[in-house]
Amino acid sequence: MPELTLTDRAIAKVKNYIAATALETKQPSESYRLRIRIQGGGCSGFSYMLGVDNSVNDKTDIIIPTGGLEVVVDKKSLLYVNGSIIDYFEDFMGSGFKITNPNATGSCGCGKSFNA
């Protein structure tokens, strides 16, 4: 069974993004989910792409319920992110999502890309 964990801080931030997107698009917030995608690039080979999405492809996507949210991941990306923990941080240097990925064999210094 696919597994992704979002911390309480990450869940709160994603819910804020979903609410803002729903308001902007005049669509119900229930139609939006967090989408996680992996693409080639970055200094370590792969980059994380996170966004709010209201589409699901039944052939290529998996929906993972976590923390009262639904997370959509395509099957190829799931190979790289399964078992990951997603957190949200704010500090004096900035803010953003931090992904702790047990499948990564290394990452760049900024943490935005990884290799597996």
Residue 42 domain-assigned? Answer: yes
Both tokens assigned to 103? 């499948």
> Is residue 114 domain-resident?
no
CATH code of 94's domain = 2.60.300.12
Question: What pLDDT is recorded for position 47?
Answer: 85
Q: Is residue 113 part of a domain?
A: no
Q: Is residue 56 part of a domain?
A: yes
Please report, for residues 9, 27, 42, 50, 70, the alpha-carbon distance to residue 53 in angstroms, rounded to integers and kept in the order given. Answer: 20, 12, 23, 9, 10
Assigned token pair, 26 = 């005049």
Give the pairing type, strands 113-115 and 5-6. unpaired
Where the chain has pLDDT below 70, the residues are 42-44, 106-116
Query: Is 112 domain-assigned?
Result: no
Domain count, the chain: 1
**Which residue range is the domain that position 89 belongs to?**
5-107
Whether residue 115 is contained in a domain is answered as: no
pTM over 0.75: yes
- Which token pair is 98? 């931090």
Give the pLDDT confidence of 21-38 residue by residue, as tens digits: 999 999 999 999 999 999
Q: 110 in helix, strand or coil? A: coil
Whether residue 85 lies inside any domain: the answer is: yes
pLDDT at 43: 64
In a domain, 116, yes or no: no
